[in-house]
Amino acid sequence: MGLDASGKSTMLHKLASSEVVTTIPTIGLSIETASIQIPAPAESGRKQKFAARVTDTGGCSKIFHLVRRVMLDDTISGVIWVIDAKDRDRLVESPEELRILLPKLGSKELDIAPSIPILILVNKIDLPDRLSLGEICAEFDGLLESRHFAHLKPTTSEVNKPVEKMLTDMRSPEVLSRKLEEWLSRAEKDVPAEELVQRLYALALPSWDHYTHLRLAYILLLKYGRRQGKDKIFEGFKQYIDKSGKIHGKSFHMTMTYFWVQMVHLGIASMGVDVDSHTLKAEGMEEDPRLYDFGRFLMVNQYLVDGQLWADYYSKDLLMSSEAKKGVVFPDIKGLPDVLYSTGAKPGTKKSDTASVSTKTALV
Ligand SMILES: Nc1nc2c(ncn2[C@@H]2O[C@H](COP(=O)(O)OP(=O)(O)OP(=O)(O)O)[C@@H](O)[C@H]2O)c(=O)[nH]1
Ligand SMILES: [Mg+2]
């Protein structure tokens, strides 16, 4: 199992026939019996070959009804969860899908014991610029420890609790500081600011993930100021999703984008920079390259590393609603923080025409 195009079918064919075959996206299920050679430690006394009936699924949570029909009479000995090491853009989505699957492993919905092993298999490691194991582990951290919860707490409302717990784990200081470290070293060798912007318009970004979104928002806000910068972020991101052909199954999310624009703007303001009055926007980005030092920006604004920061402001139901995707909606947990400048505006003074956002005001 795993996200689409992670390489499940390719792997199954390779295991079954040792051949790399050209695959097409799997619809539903494909079942193969593969004779697999696995090196086993000599002391285990086991044979080095064993037959495995492997069920390949196309997609994940959406096809559970199908999986169930096929699996009901089977003994499932384990689940292999495949990750595409090249797919930085969907690194967050993969553990989210696995998180949806986990409670079902111990429930009656799928007749699978909660104690079966789950192998998280990182695929496509032959490709350059792949995710590091550290980056992958940071996203999956805390997920598997809580997998027996479905067995212990089979009702729907109870099953939801550990999901919340797992979200909390993903946001734990250890996970976030590890992620920050990775991002800082990524920022050191990243492409220059101007090149990144060009690559956004050329539909050729090095990756499409939280880090890149934040860095683009940072550069565009600095370069163009709040109003124009925000429009460029919205237009640029939307166009990238619509036209690049690289973002599978994703559509532009207005509220999410707006939320992060606001958070990045807040981070810039906390460094004492007023994006609407500093001179760079008129004079070109090379004017003060220190400002475009994204690593420095991250060090000052470490909270931005937390990809789930929105959960402090929005309930998942609201943020994932089609209304929130199509237009900017107000948070239902607490209002977004106002951007206050330590330069220019008096501390405590809202620049309501440029940056102030509360539950009553939305500047789109
Ligand atoms: N470079 C590289 N490409 C791979 C590898 N494994 C799979 N691919 C490619 O990734 C693409 C998707 O592979 P599939 O095996 O069809 O992926 P899948 O997970 O079965 O996809 P769905 O059936 O849609 O869920 C294909 O173009 C494969 O050739 C790998 O290890 N390295
Ligand atoms: Mg497939």
Asked if the interface predicted TM-score (ipTM) of this complex is over 0.95, the answer is yes
CA-based Rg of the chain, rounded to a whole angstrom?
A: 23
What ligand has the least distance to the C-alpha of 83? 1
Cα 23 to averaged position of ligand 2 atoms, centre (Å): 7
Q: Which residue's CA is minimally distant from atom 1 of ligand 1?
A: 124
User: Looking at the whole model, is its pTM more than 0.80?
Assistant: no
Q: Examine the domain organization and report whether 59 and 115 are in the same domain.
A: yes
E strand or H helix that includes residue 114: none
Q: Report whether 196 contacts 219 (CB < 8 A).
A: yes
Cα 71 to averaged position of ligand 2 atoms, centre (Å): 17
Cα 88 to averaged position of ligand 2 atoms, centre (Å): 19
Q: Let me know if residue 214 belongs to a domain.
A: yes
Q: Report whether 307 contacts 238 (CB < 8 A).
A: no
Tokens of 20: 């790399």
Q: Examine the domain organization and report whether 52 and 122 are in the same domain.
A: yes
Domain end (from 110, 140, 170): 170
pLDDT at residue 305, rounded to an integer: 93
Distance separating alpha carbons of residues 333 and 311, to the nearest angstrom: 8
pLDDT at residue 218, rounded to an integer: 95
Tokens of 25: 């996206």
Running DSSP on this structure, what letter comes out for residue 348?
T
Whether 178 lines ligand 1, by a CB cut-off of 6 Å, is no
CA-to-CA dists, residue 139 to 134, 193, 331, angstroms = 9, 26, 25
Q: Examine the domain organization and report whether 157 and 17 are in the same domain.
A: yes
Q: Let me know if residue 353 belongs to a domain.
A: no
List the domain range (segments joined by +) for residue 126: 8-170
Whether 124 lines ligand 1, by a CB cut-off of 6 Å, is yes
Distance separating alpha carbons of residues 363 and 298, to the nearest angstrom: 25
Q: Let me know if residue 64 belongs to a domain.
A: yes
Q: Examine the domain organization and report whether 112 and 38 are in the same domain.
A: yes
Q: Examine the domain organization and report whether 136 and 226 are in the same domain.
A: no
Q: Let me know if residue 345 belongs to a domain.
A: no
Distance separating alpha carbons of residues 323 and 5, to the nearest angstrom: 29
Query: Total structural domains in the chain?
Result: 2
Atom of ligand 1 nearest to the CA of 23: 16
Tokens of 292: 């475009």
Q: Report whether 297 contacts 271 (CB < 8 A).
A: yes
Strands (E), 187-338: none
Whether 126 lines ligand 1, by a CB cut-off of 6 Å, is yes
CATH number where 139 lies: 3.40.50.300
Q: Examine the domain organization and report whether 199 and 270 are in the same domain.
A: yes
Cα 13 to averaged position of ligand 2 atoms, centre (Å): 10
Q: Examine the domain organization and report whether 69 and 24 are in the same domain.
A: yes
Q: Let me know if residue 355 belongs to a domain.
A: no
Distance separating alpha carbons of residues 184 and 295, to the nearest angstrom: 5
Q: Examine the domain organization and report whether 46 and 108 are in the same domain.
A: yes
E strand or H helix that includes residue 71: helix 64-71
Q: Which residue's CA is minimally distant from atom 5 of ligand 1?
A: 124
Atom of ligand 1 nearest to the CA of 82: 19
pLDDT means per 10 residues, the chain with 364 residues, are: 85 75 67 59 55 64 52 64 90 82 59 66 86 80 52 35 52 83 89 93 90 95 91 95 74 93 92 70 54 87 92 92 94 86 37 35 36
Distance separating alpha carbons of residues 36 and 77, to the nearest angstrom: 15
Q: Report whether 332 contacts 338 (CB < 8 A).
A: no
Q: Examine the domain organization and report whether 213 and 289 are in the same domain.
A: yes
Q: Let me know if residue 343 belongs to a domain.
A: no
**Strand-pair category, 49-57 with 79-84:** unpaired
Q: Let me know if residue 176 belongs to a domain.
A: no
Q: Which residue's CA is minimally distant from atom 16 of ligand 1?
A: 23
Distance separating alpha carbons of residues 13 and 56, to the nearest angstrom: 10
Atom of ligand 1 nearest to the CA of 59: 25
Distance separating alpha carbons of residues 2 and 61, to the nearest angstrom: 9
The closest of 203, 201, 220, 230 to 294, measured between CA atoms, is 220
Domain end (from 113, 136, 170): 170
pLDDT at residue 58, rounded to an integer: 64
At residue 45, what is the residue type?
A: G
Q: Examine the domain organization and report whether 207 and 255 are in the same domain.
A: yes
Q: Which residue's CA is minimally distant from atom 13 of ligand 1?
A: 7
Whether 25 lines ligand 1, by a CB cut-off of 6 Å, is yes
Q: Which residue's CA is minimally distant from atom 6 of ligand 1?
A: 7
Q: Examine the domain organization and report whether 138 and 229 are in the same domain.
A: no
Q: Let me know if residue 277 belongs to a domain.
A: yes
pLDDT at residue 256, rounded to an integer: 95
Tokens of 320: 């994932």
Q: Report whether 218 contacts 264 (CB < 8 A).
A: yes
Cα 25 to averaged position of ligand 1 atoms, centre (Å): 9
Whether 123 lines ligand 1, by a CB cut-off of 6 Å, is yes
Q: Examine the domain organization and report whether 71 and 166 are in the same domain.
A: yes
E strand or H helix that includes residue 93: helix 93-105
The dihedral sign for the CA sequence 119, 122, 123, 125: negative
What ligand has the least distance to the C-alpha of 23? 1
What ligand has the least distance to the C-alpha of 81? 1
